[in-house]
């Protein structure tokens, strides 16, 4: 599925007690699994440069520190398990709602959701809209922290299909999940984090 | 200009009002009587002391003594700012930021008034400089204290929202803007409210004091207006710099939210 072009290279990335090194290729989806508190989210946040960390992270050979952090994050985008919201309605969280609408519909939400109040959204609705909000950026790498944990089976399948399309188009994805079946479905390589180290799962 | 002179013995009867509040506290089990007693004794001691200190300073008219008194006032104000924070910045930054901003704002505004409008001789005459500084400092301190408190609590409360914006590629300025606006609004609101209610709901203490001391009400009003303009300017300037300084301290060059720079909740 993926080509050999190294998109994201992570070398000795250290955040608290976690130390990892790996490569992500263009058009590749890898999964991170591990017990709660093992450091999966820490790694995603450190790659997105949301927390201070040691080590090197490069995108297409360009060092993370060589570009302004907002530019980096528009290319290497972190999607939290519980996305945050800063305005009253859904529409206010999108620069161009028209661009987001097809994706919103694909994930089973109506076009009228634009005017929904954030306070009345369910966990699943928040998760789907949070995912769309990141997808419209067209990032090179997506760092997904349990993006379907609050979704039912149909919505999960729709989200997986949508992300698979992006992967096919060349986006690199690092996907944190607790669901081993999902990891097998979506990933070309699966990693587990234990005792601060990341190991590839061989099947 | 004549005024009715008060002796300390004249204050005994009004002081009974405070005693009355203390009795109410005991009767209603409010458990305020101890704090009330301490606050009353502190107020009497502090004001009596300040009366003597000001008498000395006014007689000395020394730039050194005036500057020393001003610095002490700023240090007390920064101490108050630090103490009033629910989540102070680590490493004494609340005190440093508080002191720097109160000093900058109140010194700028006081000096401006002394050099352009009041023009006493010499320009640092403590009879004008210190009371003016005191009034500006008190309000600036409240503005900075409120502004920083709302900023730090707002960032802790809205952390997910701020980080979502940062993760989507917003700069720290944009991501923190809603919380920064809230903080600035909170810092300035007491001054705005005081200005709006002045003359209708309340007669300000300084103006009342001048009228009681025999100054014509129209002249006292002019002084009060001058002081309120200075207070608005000082509070606005101090709060703005403190809140912007706080946002810088709670983020870094890589546009990360650094709540690890906040101390534990007090």
Phi, psi torsion values for A43, nearest 5 degrees: -65, -45
Which residues in chain A are closer than 8 Å to B168, comparing Cβ atoms?
73-74, 77, 133-134, 137
Q: Which two tokens stand for residue A94?
A: 């999108």
Q: CB distance from A49 to chain B under 8 Å?
A: yes
> Is the pLDDT assigned to residue A1 strictly greater than 60?
no
Residue A128 half-sphere exposure, CB side, CA atoms within 13 Å? 28
A72-92 pLDDT, tens digit each: 999 999 999 999 999 999 999
Q: Which residues of B177-210 are buried (b: 16+ CB within 10 A; e: fewer)?
A: bbbbebbbebbbeebeebeeebeeeeebebbeeb
Asked if the C-beta of B161 comes within 8 angstroms of chain A's C-beta atoms, the answer is yes
Q: Which residues contact B137 (CB under 8 A, 6 or more apart)?
A: B73, B74, B77, B102, B106, B234
Nearest CB to A80 within list B164, B253, B256 = B164
| Residues belonging to chain B | 266
Contacts of B163 in chain A (CB under 8 A): 50, 80, 84
At residue B8 the predicted structure's pLDDT band, cuts being 50, 70 and 90, is confident
Q: Quick one: pLDDT band at residue A203, thresholds 50, 70, 90? A: low
* Interface contact B162, partner A, CB < 8 A: yes
In 3D space, the residue among B139, B124, B118 whose CA is nearest the CA of residue B204 turns out to be B139
Q: What is the pLDDT of residues A158-193, one digit of tens each?
A: 999 999 999 999 999 999 999 999 999 999 999 999
Q: What is the pLDDT of residues B22-59, one digit of tens each?
A: 999 999 999 999 999 999 999 999 999 999 999 999 99
| A83 close contact with B: CB closer than 8 A | yes
Q: A38-47, A110-119, A169-178, B71-80: which range is least confident on average?
A: B71-80
Chain A residue whose CA is closest to B179 = A86
Contacts of B255 in chain A (CB under 8 A): 68-70
What would the two tokens of residue A89 be?
């309605």
Half-sphere exposure of A35 (CA within 13 A, CB side): 6
Distance CA B159, CA B29 (A): 40
Q: What is the pLDDT of residue B205?
A: 82
pLDDT (average), residues B108-136: 93
pLDDT given at position A127: 96
Q: What is the pLDDT of residue B1?
A: 60
* pLDDT of A109 over the 90 cut: yes
Spatial separation of the C-alpha atoms in residues A127 and A147, rounded to whole Å: 7
Q: What is the dihedral of CA A81, A82, A86, A90, to 10 degrees?
A: 90
- The DSSP output letter for A36 is T
Q: Does A80 touch chain B (CB under 8 A)?
A: yes
Q: Judge whether residue B173 has pLDDT over 90.
A: yes
Contact A74 B167 (CB under 8 A): no
Q: And the tokens for B42?
A: 């502190």
Closest among A202, A200, A198 to A40, alpha carbons compared: A198
B183 pLDDT band (50/70/90 cuts)? very high
- pLDDT at position B33 is 94
Task: Flag whether residue A51 sits within 8 Å of chain B, measured between CB atoms.
Answer: yes
State percent of chain B over pLDDT 90: 80
A141-145 vs A172-176, strand pairing mode: parallel
Backbone φ/ψ region at B119: left (φ over 0), alpha (ψ -120 to 50), beta = left
| CA distances from residue A44 to A65, A163, A186, B221 in whole angstroms, order as listed | 16, 17, 18, 62
Cβ of A86 and B165 within 8 Å? yes
The arithmetic mean of pLDDT across residues B82-93, rounded, is 90
Whether the pLDDT of residue B196 is over 80: the answer is: yes
Residues in chain A with CB shorter than 8 Å from the CB of B177 are none
B92 touches chain A (CB under 8 A): no
Does pLDDT of A118 surpass 70? yes
Under 8 Å between Cβ of A188 and A157: no
Mean pLDDT of all residues in B169-191: 96
Cα–Cα distance between A185 and B221 in angstroms, integer? 78
pLDDT of residue B85: 87
> Who wins on pLDDT, A15 or A145?
A145
């Amino acid at each position: 599925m993926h080509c050999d072009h190294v998109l994201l290279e992570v070398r000795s990335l250290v955040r608290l007690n976690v130390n990892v090194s790996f490569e992500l290729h263009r058009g590749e989806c890898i999964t991170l699994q591990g017990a709660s508190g093992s450091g999966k989210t820490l790694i995603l946040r450190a790659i997105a440069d949301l927390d201070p960390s040691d080590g090197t992270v490069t995108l297409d050979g360009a060092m993370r520190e060589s570009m302004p952090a907002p530019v980096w994050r528009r290319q290497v985008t972190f999607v939290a398990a519980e996305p945050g919201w800063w305005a009253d309605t859904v529409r206010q969280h999108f620069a161009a709602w028209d661009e987001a609408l097809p994706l919103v519909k694909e994930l089973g939400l109506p076009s009228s959701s634009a005017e929904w109040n954030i306070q009345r959204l369910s966990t699943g609705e928040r998760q789907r809209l949070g995912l769309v909000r990141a997808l419209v950026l067209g990032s090179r790498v997506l760092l997904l922290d349990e993006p379907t944990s609050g979704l039912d089976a149909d919505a999960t399948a729709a989200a997986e299909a949508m992300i698979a399309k992006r992967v096919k188009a060349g986006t690199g994805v690092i996907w944190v999940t607790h669901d081993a079946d999902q990891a097998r479905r979506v990933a070309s390589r699966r990693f587990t984090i234990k005792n601060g180290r990341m190991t590839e799962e061989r099947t | 200009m004549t005024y009715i002179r008060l002796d300390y013995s004249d204050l005994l009867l009004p002081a009974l009002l405070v005693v009355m509040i203390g009795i109410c506290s005991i009767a209603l089990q409010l458990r305020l009587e101890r704090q009330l007693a301490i606050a009353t004794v502190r107020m009497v001691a502090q004001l009596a002391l300040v009366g003597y200190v000001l008498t000395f300073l006014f007689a000395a008219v020394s730039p050194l003594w005036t500057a020393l008194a001003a610095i002490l006032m700023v240090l007390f104000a920064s101490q108050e700012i630090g103490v009033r924070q629910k989540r102070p910045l680590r490493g004494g930054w609340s005190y440093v930021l508080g002191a720097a901003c109160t000093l900058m704002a109140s010194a700028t505004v006081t000096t401006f008034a002394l050099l352009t409008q009041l023009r006493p001789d010499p320009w640092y005459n403590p009879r004008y400089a210190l009371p003016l500084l005191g009034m500006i400092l008190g309000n600036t301190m409240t503005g900075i204290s409120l502004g920083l408190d709302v900023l730090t609590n707002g960032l802790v409360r809205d952390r997910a929202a701020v980080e979502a914006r940062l993760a989507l590629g917003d700069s720290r300025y944009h991501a923190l803007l809603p919380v920064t606006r809230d903080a600035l609004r909170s810092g300035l609101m007491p001054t705005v409210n005081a200005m709006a209610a002045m003359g209708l709901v309340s007669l300000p203490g300084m103006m009342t004091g001048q009228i009681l001391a025999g100054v014509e009400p129209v002249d006292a009003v002019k002084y009060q207006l001058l002081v309120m303009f200075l207070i608005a300017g000082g509070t606005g300037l101090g709060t703005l710099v403190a809140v912007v300084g706080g946002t810088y301290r709670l983020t870094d060059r890589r546009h990360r939210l650094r709540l690890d720079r906040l101390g534990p909740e007090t």
